[in-house]
């Protein structure tokens, strides 16, 4: 069995929550948002997990119920690519790495297993978890060619009018060949509208090496829904309660 690690991004403050607490420690049914992501990673076979923490990191470290996870500190938030770079020492050089978010409590081990299976079966170097949604405004888009092959992932702010026609969104969750992820992280540059290091840019770097990049599209975006405010927290709680009742 090939080694599988997981890096979970949990450094943000989450200003829209209107709370002093870091976003990822808000709870649903008594459990932190980030604990749900950790559970999914463990269920998918990740034997080593690192949380990238930042805002009030001591609070995050003390709030989670899993005690055997590692932490990497992201002092200033310079984008998703920068966040993963902060966990570079944790990555090692073997196997595969899952990249997840601490504010997506609806992600399931089953979905991550399907992602990993698709990744392996198709001999991909990186596979992004995507989903088709009716209103993709604000999300990064997956661009495919006429044959349906992955071309690139582009941030909403950097997309052309044609690219904005795509309804397939980048969830921000991935499975990478670890060695290639590390090499691509070293090549990231912040030349974009935000002046940040974007993790999706690693897809282009890897693809330009002639390696296989792909997106695995979910029919239902429920699993990748993030929590950004109290309303979304309440909606996610409803879904989790319904799932538990099943």
Tokens 């940040």 appear where? 196
Detail the DSSP E strand segments found in 11-58: 27-28, 31-32, 48-53
H-only helix segments in 74-215 = 80-85, 88-91, 109-121, 178-186, 201-207
Q: Is 16 a catalytic residue?
A: yes
Give how far Cα 209 sits from Cα of 55, 172, 183, 212, Å.
36, 22, 11, 9
- How do beta strands 48-53 and 4-10 pair? parallel
Which member of 16, 149, 241, 243 is catalytic?
16
Per-residue pLDDT tens digits of the chain, which is 246 residues long: 689 999 999 999 999 999 999 999 999 999 999 999 999 999 999 999 999 999 999 999 999 999 899 999 999 999 999 999 999 999 999 999 999 999 999 999 999 999 999 999 999 999 999 999 999 999 999 999 999 999 999 999 989 999 999 999 999 999 999 999 999 999 999 988 888 999 999 999 999 999 999 999 998 999 999 999 999 999 999 999 999 998
Task: Please state whether the predicted TM-score (pTM) of the whole model is above 0.85.
Answer: yes
Q: Give the chain's largest Cα–Cα span.
A: 49
Residue 219 neighbours by CB under 8 Å, 6+ apart: 131, 132
Q: State the pLDDT at residue 98.
A: 98
Distance CA 216, CA 214 (A): 7
- Tokens representing residue 117 in the block: 């299976």
Res 1: pLDDT: 66
141, 154 Cβ separation under 8 angstroms: yes
CATH superfamily to which 4-245 belongs: Spore Coat Polysaccharide Biosynthesis Protein SpsA; Chain A (3.90.550.10)
| Rounded-to-integer distance, Cα 95 and Cα 45, Å | 12
CB 58 within 8 A of CB 13: no
Question: Which phi-psi region, left, alpha or beta, contains residue 195 (left: φ > 0; alpha: ψ -120 to 50)?
Answer: left
d(CA 93, CA 186): 14
d(CA 94, CA 181): 11
pLDDT at 194: 84
């Amino acid at each position: 069995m090939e080694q599988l690690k997981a890096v979970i991004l949990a450094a943000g403050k989450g200003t829209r929550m209107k709370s002093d607490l870091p976003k990822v420690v808000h709870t649903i049914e008594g459990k932190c948002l980030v604990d749900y992501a950790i559970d999914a990673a463990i269920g998918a076979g990740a034997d080593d997990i690192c949380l990238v923490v930042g805002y009030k990191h001591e609070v995050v470290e003390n709030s989670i119920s899993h005690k055997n996870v590692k932490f990497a500190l992201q002092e200033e938030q310079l984008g998703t690519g920068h966040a993963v770079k902060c966990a570079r020492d944790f990555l090692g050089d073997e196997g595969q790495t899952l990249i997840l978010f601490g504010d997506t409590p609806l992600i399931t081990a089953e979905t991550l297993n399907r992602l990993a299976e698709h990744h392996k079966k198709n001999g991909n170097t990186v596979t992004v978890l995507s989903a088709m949604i009716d209103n993709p405004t604000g999300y990064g888009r997956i661009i495919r060619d006429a044959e349906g092959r992955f071309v690139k992932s582009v941030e909403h702010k950097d997309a052309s009018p044609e690219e904005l026609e795509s309804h397939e969104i980048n969830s921000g969750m991935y499975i990478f060949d670890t060695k290639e992820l590390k090499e691509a992280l070293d090549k990231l540059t912040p030349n974009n509208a935000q002046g940040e290091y974007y993790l999706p840019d690693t897809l282009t770097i890897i693809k330009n090496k002639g390696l296989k990049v792909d997106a695995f599209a979910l029919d239902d975006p429920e699993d990748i829904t993030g929590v950004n405010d109290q309303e979304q927290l309440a909606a996610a709680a409803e879904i989790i309660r319904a799932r538990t009742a099943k």
